[in-house]
Structure 1
Amino acid sequence: MATDAWTAVKQRFARLLGRGDPEQVEAAERRLERSRQELAGRSGGELEQARAEQVAAWKARLTDLLEDHPACATELRELIEAVRAEAAPCGTTVVQHVVASDRAQQAVLGQGTQNVVFHSGDD
């Protein structure tokens, strides 16, 4: 719910949840958006609590969906896999521990291209 792909994911989940009924699709979109808003702007323990509540709520909704429409299990599985693939990190996590002393200089780059010129300060 916190990624750039949210709009597309929300629409796909809403179509799945609405099962072809335009009113139900719209209701599902509103419910998904409310869930996103519950998480927005929170951090730390407050975010974790809100996330746990949303997980429980959506787990119940999806359980109901599968009980009422068992044939949509494949569609749901495919949608979840697509979301996971889009949310997967596209690179490797980099951790740097840098220590400098005296007149040392550092340049740290998380990604992209960086051109660095150090001057001694005596120029």
Structure 2
Amino acid sequence: MSEIEILQMAAPAAQALLACMTSDAWQAAKSKFAALLGRNNQVETEILENDLEEARVRIMQNPAEHEAITSEVWKARFRQALLANPDMAQELREILREFKDQEPNSSRGIHQSVVARDSSIVFQQGSGVQNYNNSPGSNA
């Protein structure tokens, strides 16, 4: 496995891991990623599970501050593991397929369409708070 192939696997693995940290799949993902990186060594796996949980806590507390660095740290760990054990690549692919739905994907998007007729009022919003006041005397 070439260095380029390893990098091409390490980056998506780190992205998938971070996506799982903020999803309902976290416990299963944590166990599988830790077992993979620990090569099923119980002590190593427990250490990795603790490291992963600490990373998740930081991400949950302040994603803007910790997301990029956490991604880089885990990308480096995946890279090191793949360099040391190229045979783990297939198992990593299987784990990534399993947790693929947790990843943010720019090709998936939200599609909204609205048809308004006559004197209808339509509001569309992707996120945030929307207030509408149509009480008598308002200019809405």
TM-score range, shorter chain: 0.5 to 0.7
Alignment of 1:20-31 (within 5 A): 20-31=40-51
Identity of aligned residues (%): 30
In the alignment, which residue of structure 2 is the partner of 1:55?
71
State the shift of 1:38 in Å.
Answer: 1.1
* Corresponding residue number in structure 2 for 1:32: 52
* CA positional deviation for 1:81: 2.0
Match of 1:74 in 2: 90
Give 5+ residue unaligned stretches, structure 2.
1-20, 115-119, 127-135
* Structure 1: gaps spanning 5 or more residues: 98-103, 111-120
Q: How far 1:106 sits from its partner (Å)?
A: 6.6
Quick one: which amino acid aligns to residue 83 of structure 2? E
Change over 3 Å in CA distance of 1:19–1:35 after alignment to 2: same
What secondary structure sits across from 2:61 in the alignment?
coil
- C-alpha separation in 2, matches of 1:36 and 1:62: 17
Normalising by the residue count of structure 1, what TM-score does the alignment of the two structures yield?
A: 0.67
Aligned partners of 1:95 and 1:41: how far apart in 2? 32
The structure with the larger Rg is: 1
| CA shift digits 1:44-96 (9 cap, x unpaired) | xxx1x41110111001100110011110011111111211134478x962447
How many aligned positions are there? 103
User: Where does residue 12 of structure 1 map in the other structure?
Assistant: 32
Deviations 1:91-116 (A, max 9, x none): 9624478xxxxxx77787x9xxxxxx
TM-score (norm 2): 0.60
Question: More relative contact order in 1 or in 2 (CA 8 Å, sep 6+)?
Answer: 2
